[in-house]
């Protein structure tokens, strides 16, 4: 029986891994992978929607060109606040590559479980369950399609993407012209 890949579920994993970067980036040495891919394994990210084949994601590279936008899902699960707009377009400032590592022999049950894994279910896992999950599944990012950083390794991301640190800020403002407002900012420091 052929297995279909749910691309929406796999793309959702990218967000999960990015969200886990902060909590899982430990003191270990960066786990940078150096790997070249065949030219025919590169695919523009917009082609993913059209890719209706049963293929392994392993050894496939997806890229986003400078100036192109990617949808970012944003969620806040709180007793006192929620997100009204859960989709924001982020703009690539340079060409970025992504590749996925996952088992090539997943059963239908395992594929179904993967396609329903989201940030909520990952956050409910204990540390051992998360480690076991990340042993089999990983999304890597690169600027040169040669040196790859797993999205859950902050040190590797810094080295591969070329930044020293990052800042996350949340603020509240109040003015007589704009009223009450909030801001959320993320900045990398070179």
**Residue 63 falls within a domain, yes or no?**
yes
CA distances for 41 relative to 21, 37, 44, 121, 150, angstroms:
26, 7, 10, 31, 19
The answer to whether position 150 is within a domain reads yes
Contact 130/122 with Cβ under 8 angstroms? Answer: yes
Does 46 reside within a domain?
yes
pLDDT at 149: 95
Residue 147 lies in a domain: yes
Task: Look at the chain and report how many structural domains it folds into.
Answer: 1
Residue located via tokens 């956050």: 123
Residue 68 CA from chain centroid, whole number: 16
| Residue 58 pLDDT | 76
Residue 169 belongs to some domain of the structure: no
Task: Please give the pLDDT value at position 32.
Answer: 92
Mean pLDDT by 10 residues, the chain (190 residues): 41 42 45 92 85 66 94 80 80 93 78 75 85 83 95 89 85 85 82
Q: Tell me the residue range of the domain where 121 lies.
A: 7-161
**3-state SS string over the chain?**
CCCCCCHHHHHHHHHHHHHHHHHHCCCCCCCCEECCCCHHHEEEHHHHHHCCCCCCCCCCEEEECCCCEEEEECCCCCCCCCCCCCEEEEECCCCEEEEEECCCCCCHHHHHHHHCCCHHHHHCCCHHHHHHHHHHCEEEEECCCCEEEECCCHHHHHHHHCCCEEEEEEEEEEECCCEEEEEEEEEEEC
- Residue 180 placed within a domain: no
User: What's the whole-model pTM score?
Assistant: 0.71
Backbone φ and ψ of 126, nearest 5°? -80, 175
């Amino acid at each position: 029986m052929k297995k279909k890949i749910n691309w929406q579920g796999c793309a959702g994993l990218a967000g999960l891994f990015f969200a886990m970067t902060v909590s899982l980036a430990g003191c270990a040495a960066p786990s940078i992978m150096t790997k070249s891919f065949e030219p025919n394994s590169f695919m523009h990210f917009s082609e993913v929607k059209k890719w209706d084949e049963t293929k392994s994601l392993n050894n496939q590279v997806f890229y986003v060109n400078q100036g192109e936008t990617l949808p970012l899902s944003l969620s806040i699960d709180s007793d006192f606040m929620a997100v009204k707009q859960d989709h924001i377009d982020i703009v690539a400032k340079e060409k970025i590559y992504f590749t996925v590592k996952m088992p090539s022999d997943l059963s239908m049950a395992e594929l179904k479980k993967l396609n329903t894994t989201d940030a909520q279910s990952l956050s409910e896992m204990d540390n051992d369950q998360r480690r076991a999950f990340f042993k089999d599944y990983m999304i890597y990012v690169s600027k040169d399609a040669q040196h790859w950083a797993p999205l859950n390794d902050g040190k590797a991301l810094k080295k591969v993407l070329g930044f020293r640190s990052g800042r996350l800020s949340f603020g509240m403002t109040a003015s007589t012209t704009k009223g009450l407002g909030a801001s959320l900012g993320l900045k990398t420091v070179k």
